[in-house]
């Protein structure tokens, strides 16, 4: 009997990256944290033990207990429920801003890298934004537009576009000089096909990393803006706003600020470390 030839299944690049990422235990823990927070944000009030807006003045400023794991605030509202529900605002702002930023910045970066005549025009325009301090620029934009969550999202999207565009441009310029791009030009492929079918797919690795790291940046900045009253407004349970509200009771009821602060720290740490893990998994030189 002759043995049947074995069928070798070649791993796709993304499957190989996933295999490498799974070896990084801390990155997988961070991924689990992010997915759990996403689930909490989606389910919202369906899984909170109390109504996040329900007031009970007789039970105001209770310390953390089995009944109220994070205590209650000065209106008797359950802090655990408010932190859980606040995940919806933080996750939405973070991922929405960076997604819109990517949809705008990636085409700008690709065009700048491929069309030399437009490169200087696009990059110098973005340098104007990069040259300004981020936080003062955000405050000026929100003050000009008006204080609201929607205007904060617009401001955060604007300030994150230049970084995303520059990462796209730098990677696209490396790919553009590869031999397979020259071959595509030689056989008469259109510029749009070259950009979308060849340059963009081969530039995705740093863009994925930028997406995770950029989301962490947006989470921190949105919390800071809400903290100073330039973002989400009361009575919505946004983490930065809850930290600001709890400052008046910090000596006696420390948990009012500490608990949402720990939530912000956990999410940003998970996003940043996951980004580092993806970067390592996508770098062949670190996985020999």
Question: pTM for this one?
Answer: 0.87
Domain of residue 159, residue span: 42-55+70-283
Whether the CA torsion 128, 153, 227, 27 is positive or negative: it is negative
Confidence class for position 10, pLDDT limits 50, 70, 90: low
Query: How many domains, the chain?
Result: 1
CB-based contacts of 52: which residues, under 8 Å, 6+ apart? 45, 77, 78, 81, 82, 84, 85, 86, 237
Rounded to whole angstroms, the Cα distance separating 194 from 114 reads: 10
| 2 within a domain of the structure (yes/no) | no
Q: What is the pLDDT of residues 99-112, one digit of tens each?
A: 999 999 999 999 99
The pLDDT tens digits for 18-77 are 888 888 899 999 999 999 999 999 998 889 999 999 999 999 999 999 999 999 999 999
Average pLDDT over residues 225-253: 91
CA distance 6 to 188: 39
pLDDT in tens, 151-162: 999 999 999 999
The candidate with the shortest Cα–Cα distance to 44, out of 13, 87, 11, is 87
Q: Is there a domain that residue 88 lies in? A: yes
Q: How far is CA 48 from the centre of its chain?
A: 24
Q: Is residue 22 part of a domain?
A: no
- CATH number (domain holding residue 149): 1.10.3720.10
* Mean pLDDT value of segment 105-134: 91
Angle at the Cα of 163 from the Cα atoms of 262 and 126, rounded to 5 degrees: 135
Q: Whole-angstrom Cα distance, residue 61 to residue 74?
A: 5
Whether pLDDT at 7 is above 60: no
Residue 144 is assigned to a structural domain of this protein: yes
Residue 121 covered by a domain: yes
pLDDT at 285: 58
Q: Which two tokens stand for residue 23?
A: 């070896």
Q: Please say whether the beta carbons of 30 and 46 come within 8 A.
A: no
Q: Would 288 be classed as within a structural domain?
A: no
CB count within 10 Å of CB 26 equals 12
CA–CA dist 263, 271 (Å, integer):
12
Q: Quick one: tokens of 18? A: 């996933």
3-state DSSP helix/strand/coil % of the chain, to nearest 5: 75, 0, 25
Is residue 276 situated within a structural domain? yes
Instruction: Using pLDDT thresholds of 50, 70 and 90, give the confidence band for residue 260.
Output: very high
Does any domain span residue 24? Answer: no
């Amino acid at each position: 009997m002759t043995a049947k030839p074995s069928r070798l299944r070649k791993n796709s690049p993304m499957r190989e990256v996933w295999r490498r990422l799974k070896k990084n235990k801390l990155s997988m823990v961070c991924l689990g944290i992010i997915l759990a927070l996403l689930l909490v944000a989606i389910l919202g009030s369906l899984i909170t033990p109390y109504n996040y807006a329900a007031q009970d003045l007789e039970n105001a400023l209770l310390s953390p207990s089995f009944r109220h794991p994070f205590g209650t605030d000065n209106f008797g509202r359950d802090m655990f429920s408010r932190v859980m529900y606040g995940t919806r605002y933080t996750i939405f702002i973070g991922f929405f801003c960076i997604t819109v930023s990517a949809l705008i910045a990636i085409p700008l970066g690709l065009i700048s890298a491929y069309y030399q005549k437009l490169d200087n025009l696009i990059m110098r325009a973005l340098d104007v934004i990069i040259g300004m301090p981020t936080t003062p620029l955000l405050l000026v934009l929100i003050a000009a537009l008006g204080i609201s969550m929607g205007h904060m999202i617009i401001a955060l999207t604007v300030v994150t576009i230049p970084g995303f565009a520059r990462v796209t441009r730098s990677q696209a310029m490396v790919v553009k000089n590869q031999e397979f791009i020259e071959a595509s030009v030689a056989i008469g492929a259109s510029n749009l096909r070259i950009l979308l079918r060849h340059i963009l797919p081969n530039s995705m690795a740093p863009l994925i990393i930028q997406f995770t790291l950029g989301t962490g940046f947006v989470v921190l900045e949105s919390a800071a803006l809400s903290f100073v009253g330039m973002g989400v407004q009361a009575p919505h349970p946004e983490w930065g706003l809850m930290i600001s509200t709890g400052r008046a009771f910090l000596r006696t009821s420390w948990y009012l600020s500490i608990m949402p602060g720990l939530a912000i720290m956990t999410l940003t740490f998970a996003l940043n470390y996951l980004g580092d893990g993806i970067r390592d998994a996508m770098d062949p030189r670190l996985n020999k």
